[in-house]
Structure 1
Amino acid sequence: MNQLFAVALGGACGAVLRFMVSTGVYHWLGRGFPYGTLAVNVIGSLLLGLLTEALVLNRIAFALDYRAAILVGFIGAFTTFSTFSLETVYLLQQGQAVKALLNVAVSVGVCLLAIWLGLLCGKALAGQTLPGPDGLFPYGIILVNVFGAFLISAVATALLPKVPLAIEQQLTLMIVLGFSYLGLSGLYVLLYLLEHGSAYPAQARGLALGFTANTLAGLLGLGLGWWAVRQLAKLGG
């Protein structure tokens, strides 16, 4: 039942974020091509590859609900194969066979590439630690979390203004997304440390250091994502 609730919660968040991203992309690029569906599938594939090593292959025993919420619920609801299929059929019915074939080729090819790149990055980083007097310091997972924070911030900064929401609602969504990510990623750092030998309260300082370092690094990633998109907007405008 716990896993069922976790999947439901992750799925709700993923579905809402998919709506915001795809709607923002369509407002930005138009509906002449399935840009929105392509965007969510590519981003979701990259995140799935990146998080597979950290959340599955490290096999943290008491994080099953956590893994289910993210991999099955959140990413499963964020990505969509059915919409991709429907939009491809619509293009064929409209006599746009070239666009339909392009949609299939780009979606499959780029999503496979994104999964591969995500797996490479995850394998290179997840599980990398430094020993210390207060236990392990999981810098690899923290770097993965920083990249996730950067990606979330960049996507939200670029696309939320394209969604028909009041500025107060946009700011609220960005704050909720940012702090939810920081909380969940910090929780995973704690779970990882506890699973790999850190004990509470004996090594409480090491646990606090890992959580604090992840939070500060995540804030840096969120800030860099916002800054990067703003700089690109200035160059383009």
Structure 2
Amino acid sequence: MDSLAFKLVPTLMVALGGALGATTRFWVREFLPLITGSQFPLSTVAVNLVGCFLAGLVYMWIEHSTLIWSAHKLLFFFVGFLGAFTTFSAFALESLLLYQQGDWLKLTLHIFANCVLCLICVFVGGWLGVKLAGH
């Protein structure tokens, strides 16, 4: 029972971060198409790019600064918030649907944006995190 109680606070931190990440993801999904007027699955690309950027930025900022995050804060942000905010499963399903529709241009753009651009974002975010830390 002690190990179960020991995991209660970390579980709650992940759950709270996940609830906020999922809610943020929902609002991006609802409003971005209204703003852009696009039928392209841009909301998935957007949350994956922003999520990758934030992962790189915050991780490298913490690593290269005097900033100390508790294990609970790390779980809240990385596992909870970013885990629920980013949507790789949605990306995969949308890719399958574009493939089934035979929309090769959208499929290619979708894969490129979510794979290549997200990798670029995590590196740029990491570089900026180091700069913010003063290194």
**Is TM more than 0.5 here?**
yes
**Matched ranges for 1:73-112 at <5 A:** 73-112=80-119
1:30 Cα deviation after fit: 3.6
Q: How many residues align?
A: 127
| 1:65 alignment counterpart | 72
Unpaired stretches in structure 2, ≥5 consecutive residues: 1-7
Over the aligned positions, Cα root-mean-square deviation in angstroms equals 1.9
**Rounded Cα–Cα distance in structure 1 between residues aligned with 2:111 and 2:50:** 16
**Rounded Cα–Cα distance in structure 2 between residues aligned with 1:49 and 1:108:** 15
The alignment's TM-score, normalised by the length of structure 1, stands at 0.50
**Rounded Cα–Cα distance in structure 1 between residues aligned with 2:71 and 2:61:** 12
The alignment's TM-score, normalised by the length of structure 2, stands at 0.85
1:31 Cα deviation after fit: 4.9
**Rounded Cα–Cα distance in structure 1 between residues aligned with 2:82 and 2:62:** 13
Out of 30, 35, 60, the position equivalent to 1:28 is 35
**For the structure 1 residues 49 and 12, does the alpha-carbon distance in structure 2 shift closer, same or farther, using more than 3 Å as the test?**
same
Does the 8 Å contact 1:88/1:103 carry over to 2?
yes
For 1:27, give the aligned amino acid. Answer: L
Deviating above 6 A after TM superposition, structure 1's stretches of 4 or more consecutive aligned residues are none
Overall identity of the aligned pairs, in %:
38
Unpaired stretches in structure 1, ≥5 consecutive residues: 129-139, 141-237
**Matched ranges for 1:151-190 at <5 A:** none
| 1:3 alignment counterpart | 10
1:109 Cα deviation after fit: 1.2
- CA deviation map 1:146-201 (0-9, x unaligned): xxxxxxxxxxxxxxxxxxxxxxxxxxxxxxxxxxxxxxxxxxxxxxxxxxxxxxxx
For 2:86, give the aligned amino acid. Answer: T
Does the 8 Å contact 1:11/1:77 carry over to 2?
yes
Does the 8 Å contact 1:56/1:67 carry over to 2?
no
Does the 8 Å contact 2:64/2:130 carry over to 1?
no
